[in-house]
Each structure stands twice: as structure tokens, then as C-alpha cells.
Amino acid sequence: MKTSTSGAFFFCFVLFTAPLSSSFPLEDGTNIAKYNFVDAVSRFRVEFSWRNISCPVCKAIFTVVDLALLSQTNTERVAHAIGEACTKLHLADKRVCREITELFRDDVIRALQESVLWPTEACAVIVGPSCGHFDIYAPWNISLPHVPKPPVVPPTPPKPGSPQSRILFLTDIHWDAEYIEGSSADCKDPLCCRNGSEPPRWRHREAGYWGTYSKCDLPLRTVENMLQNVVKAGPWDWVYWTGDIPAHNVWAQTRSQQLRELTTISRLIHKYLGPNVTVYPAVGNHESTPVNSFPPPFVHGNYSSHWLYDTMAKEWAPWLPAQALVTLRHGGFYTVQIQPGLRLVSLNMNFCARENFWLMVNSTDPADQLQWLVRILQESENKGEKVHIIGHIPPSLCLSSWSWNYYHIVNRYEGTITGQFFGHTHVDEFQMFYDEETMSRPLGVAYIAPSVTTYISLNPGYRVYYVDGNYPGSSRLVLDHETFILNLTEANSLEGGSGLSKPDPSPKWTLLYRATEAYGVPTLFPSDWNKLISSFVIDDGAFQKFWYLRHKGHVSEICEDVCKKTVICYLRSGRYEELRHCGQLDEFSEDDIPSITKSMC
């Protein structure tokens, strides 16, 4: 029965979560059968999500697969049966079905064998609580020290002329080593513009030299060109780099490839920025293989993440002190003092991710990371030190308990945490944190920066943050930010003398916008962002401007009605499933809530 349970859940897991798990929520709209990112709403988990499978369909699948697997207890045969089913249901082409099944087989079955999951619970996981009951992700609480929260001091702008730190922020590079100019940009696979991308019959677009507006990642030359331009745009006080190095070919990745890509990109960044600029990395969900597979430290041996963290510790040793490398090797997170008065915490957000199937074994504060964070924050508060937090996956996309505990920590230490920086969604957005008592006073903002990669149909880009300091008593708050992009339309087609266009040999990375100017706000304090969101509700022009910038200047679909409401709710929701703020928006009626809820969950 155990194998049957594992097999059945594995079936749904591989077919419905693996292809979309590469970058939540961006790819959460993805299904391995339909890579149809038709509009912005699909990016918010509306279309083709595995959660959209109806309850009877889910139960039917489990009944059939369970019966089949009862007589096939051998892992090989189970995997084969799943691969066949994937192909027959046309969930992907044969090669992708076979490869992704192979890739996920051992790890997922091992995780499931260690967890306590019954077939009846699976549909509750897949479809939602309306289809059954499960408690794999039982609620839990971190404990805070018995130290009263210091009085809240509202932020004030620094004196004119005060020094500012200029921080380069890189995220989601997603280098595709098999990117080929001229290959098919519209293929059936989850990733195109590469070796073996079969063109569909109905249209044919080719991959561009510098990148492509499609479900494509970047060639190495674009990553190097970005780094060359970043050096020219310096000097930088330091760099935050929040992960996702490999491409989205998640059905065919090996540990050695992942490590080669980690090593190549780490060394390139080091080479271009030089030995005097410190880079502070965070671990993305794509660094591992299978994607999202991050066993917490209770897993030992070959299944553990040592193969990955050890290489990270080796490659990042030029940037990080020995003490940081100790926790990096243990759990992929660390803390380091950047300057006197400013500390960084780099979190491994894979320990909060519902796509990390190892958390089905035990999701209670994996690696004791949040309890560790509380200890660091209390020590900083005691010293009067400010703290920046970086991580890959934004906290609102985390498992519920993790997300609510994190929100609680941000509330308690609002005077200490002066910056939160994430990536993962590939688009340019942010999320608000409010006081837990009234949910009306904005006290924090998590910045979600745009990706370096084009995936999906975006311009390549990078972010710059301006932070108060370094001088005695500096607030270390974010005062402004800038976004630079490579306009692919221009970069790929420089007008030649013969009337033919060719790629620009030295394309320009240009300033897309500066936040204070674009949004007409004096500072970027949480209250400014909160007012801006309110203006989106009543001023559609302001919202559409945000929507354009959110996609790094290349918008594929307009956003109105439910899409707009969903986006506004999302900006207000620094924690998972927080919909209270939707109800407070004048434009929203009670009738809107179900569709918004569906979009957000």
C-alpha cells in the first residue's frame, strides 16, 4: 500500500507540479501540456494550474493509478507506468515525459516513503481542502524572546547630502548553455530557443542573438554583456545576488551540470566585478536538481544537499567569511556584517516552498532557520544594528505557517529590518507588511526585483538600490531604486546599410525608470508604497504604468478587472493567503473575492 500511495502521489506530483515548479508564481500558470502564458492573470496562477483539476477528476486519477500500482510495486515499473501515462494523456511529448519522470523518480519516492501520506489525502493537497482533508503541513510557531518590542519610530528622510550606498541587485540569471540563435522560439517543450527545440507547424519565430521574447532563457554572451555593462555603471558598494542560475530545462539536468553552471557564473561575476566588490548570494530553487529538491539537514547521505552547498561554499569563499560558510554548508543560509551598523541575513527560501517536496516529511521550521533568524535579529536589536534580508522566493509564496511566522518576525523587528529583497517571480513588484494588530499601518516592504533572464517574453534586466548610509546612525532604509534593461527589439536588429538588420555588437543597457521619479513619491518608505497602491485603485493610468514597468517595458497582455484586482491584492499581501486587504478596496465587491481567492491560491 505504501508503494501504491507513493506512486500515486508521485504521479500527480510529477505531472502537475514539476513543470510549473520552476518559478512560482510565474510558471505556476504553466502546465507541461500547455505553455500558454496568455496573459498576466495566468501568471497569477489562474490558468492550467494543477489546483484547477476538479475533485472528481483527481479522485478518478488516484483510483485508477492506485489500482494499477497495486500490482506494480517495483519502482522501475512504477516510473515506466507514469511516463506512459504522461505521454498518453498528452501532458508533454514523449521525451520530456520520460526524462522528467526519470529525474524526479528517486527523490520524490524517497521523500514520500519518509512522509505519512495516504491516498485520500492526496486530492486535498492537489485540489484543496474542499476535496479532502490533510495535515502534512501542520501549523507551527517560532518563539520570540521575552524582550519587549522597542517603541516604533516612524522613518524620516536623511539630511540632504547624506551618503548613500549603491547596491547592485542581480537575480534569476537562468543561463541556457544550449541556447542557439536561429533555433525555434515557439516549441512544445517548456524551454525553447535551444538545441533540439522542434518548431510547431503553425508559426515559426527564431531565437534572437541576445535573447528572445518567448519561453527562452539567455545565452552566455548576454550574461557577460550584462556584467560588462554593470561594471561600466559602477562603482558598487556591494552586490546582492538572489539565485536561479541554471536554465528552465528542468526535465534534463544533472548535478554535475548544475555545479558547472554555478561555478561558471560565480567566477564570471567575480572576474567582472573584481576582487574589491563583495557579492552576497542567496540560494534559488533552480540551483538543485530535481528543481526545488532541497532536503532539510535531517536528510543525510547522497540524498542530502551537501553536493550543492559544499560547492557554493567553495565558490563563494572569496566573498563570505568563514563563519558564514559554516551555516551555508549546513543549510544554505548565513549572516554577515556588511559594515559596522549593518548586517545581512541571506535566507534559504527553499525551506519555505510548497514545491520542495521534502517538506512533506516535516515542514516545521526546516533547519530551524526562522528560529535562527530571530536570534540574529535580537542580537542586532541589542547592538542597535540594522538588518537587510535577502532570499530567492518572496515570503508570501511560502507555505502558510512559514509565511505567517515570517510576517510575525517582521512585525516584532520592524525597527531592525530595514530592507527585504527577493526575486523568483521574474517581474518587478513588491509586497507590503502591515501591523498585525490592525493591518492598517504599513511597516515594511519586500522588494521583488526583475530577472536578468527573458523568461517569459521579458527584456533582460537588473536592479540598483540606493540605501541610506554609510555614516553613524544611518537608517539603512531603501531611498530609491533604478531598473536597467536591454531592449531586445533594438539589440537584436540594428539597421544595416543593405537594409537588412543584424544584432547590435555592443547593445546598450538603459535606465528604464527610477522609482521616485516614475511614481512621483518623495521617498520609498512603506507608507509611500501603501499610498501608491491606493492610487492604483482609483487611477488606472498609474496602475497601467506600474504594469508596464512590472514587465520591464515589454508587456504581452493588458491587465484589467480581475487581473488588476488580483495584482493589487498581491501587492498588499506580504503573507500567504492574506485577503483581508482585498475587502477594503472600494472597487471590490463581495462577489470579487472568490475569483481573487482563486487567482491567488
As annotated, the binding site for Zn(2+) includes: 172, 174, 244, 285, 392, 424, 426
Least gap, CB of 23 to Zn ion (angstroms) = 4
CB of 339 to Zn ion, least distance (A): 29
Q: How many CB atoms lie within 10 A of CB 228?
A: 13
Residue 453 one-letter amino acid: T
Q: Which is nearer to Zn ion, 65 or 173 (CB)?
A: 173
For residue 164, list its beta bridge partners: 468
Element (H, E) at 328: helix 322-331
Which residue lies nearer to Zn ion by CB, 291 or 443?
291
Whether omega before 470 lies within 30 degrees of 0, making that bond cis, reads: yes
Q: CB of residue 340 vs Zn ion: minimum separation in angstroms?
A: 33
Q: Any contact of residue 266 with Zn ion (CB under 5 A)?
A: no
Tell me which of 27, 47, 244, 315 binds Zn ion, using CB under 5 A: 244
Determine if 380 is a binding residue for Zn ion (CB under 5 A): no
For 530-570, the DSSP string reads HHHHHHHHH-HHHHHHHHHHHTTT--SS---HHHHHHHHHH
Contact segment (CB under 5 A) with Zn ion among 155-163, 325-333, 419-427, 434-442 equals 419-427
- Residue 455 Cβ vs Zn ion, minimum distance, rounded to whole Å: 7
Query: Scanning residues 270 to 289, which ones bind Zn ion (CB under 5 A)?
Result: 284-285
Judged by beta carbon, residue 343 or residue 424, the one nearer Zn ion is 424
Pairing of strands 279-281, 238-241: parallel
CB of 439 to Zn ion, least distance (A): 28
Least distance from Zn ion to the Cβ atom of residue 392, Å: 6
- Between CA 596 and CA 579 the distance in angstroms is 9
Closer to Zn ion by CB, 66 or 244: give it.
Answer: 244
Q: Contact 426/247 with Cβ under 8 angstroms?
A: no
Contact 123, 9 (CB under 8 A): no
Residue with cell 547596491: 167
Q: Are 208 and 492 in contact (CB under 8 A)?
A: yes
User: Could you tell me the smallest distance in angstroms from the CB atom of residue 12 to Zn ion?
Assistant: 22
CA–CA distance, 76 with 286 (Å, rounded to integer): 26
H or E segment to which residue 264 belongs: helix 255-273
Q: SS3 of 169, please?
A: strand
C-beta closer to Zn ion: residue 65 or 452: 452
> Per CB under 5 A, does 172 bind Zn ion?
yes
Q: Which stretch binds Zn ion (CB under 5 A): 142-150, 296-304, 351-359, 416-424?
A: 416-424
- Chain mean position to CA 486: 21
Binding-site size, Zn ion (CB under 5 A) = 6
Piece of the chain touching Zn ion by CB under 5 A; list 30-38, 342-350, 417-425, 473-481:
417-425
Q: For the CB of residue 296, give the shortest distance to Zn ion in the complex, in Å.
A: 19
Q: Which is nearer to Zn ion, 356 or 474 (CB)?
A: 356
Binding residues, by number, are: 172, 174, 244, 285, 392, 424, 426
Nearer Cβ to Zn ion (45/424): 424
Report how far residue 365's alpha carbon sits from residue 353's, in angstroms, rounded to the nearest whole number.
11
Q: Tell me the sheet residues that pair with 281.
A: 241
- Residue with smaller CB distance to Zn ion, 281 or 284: 284
Q: Does 369 bind Zn ion (CB under 5 A)?
A: no
Closer by beta carbon to Zn ion, 61 or else 347: 347
Binding-site string for Zn ion from residue 4 to residue 23, where x marks contact by CB under 5 A and - marks none: -------------------x
Residues between 478 and 517 that touch Zn ion (CB under 5 A):
none
CA distance 370 to 62: 36
Secondary element (H or E) of residue 433: strand 429-434
From residue 141, alpha-carbon distances to 138, 332, 406, 443, 517 in Å are 10, 22, 10, 21, 41
- Between CA 523 and CA 557 the distance in angstroms is 30
Least distance from C-beta 523 to Zn ion, angstroms? 30
Among 242-250, 356-364, 377-385, 551-559, the segment contacting Zn ion (CB under 5 A): 242-250
From the list 3, 258, 205, the residue with the least C-alpha distance to 105 is: 3
Considering only 329, 424, 481, 552, the residue that binds Zn ion (CB under 5 A) is 424
Contact 539, 564 (CB under 8 A): no
For Zn ion, the binding residues (CB under 5 A) are 23, 172, 244, 284-285, 424
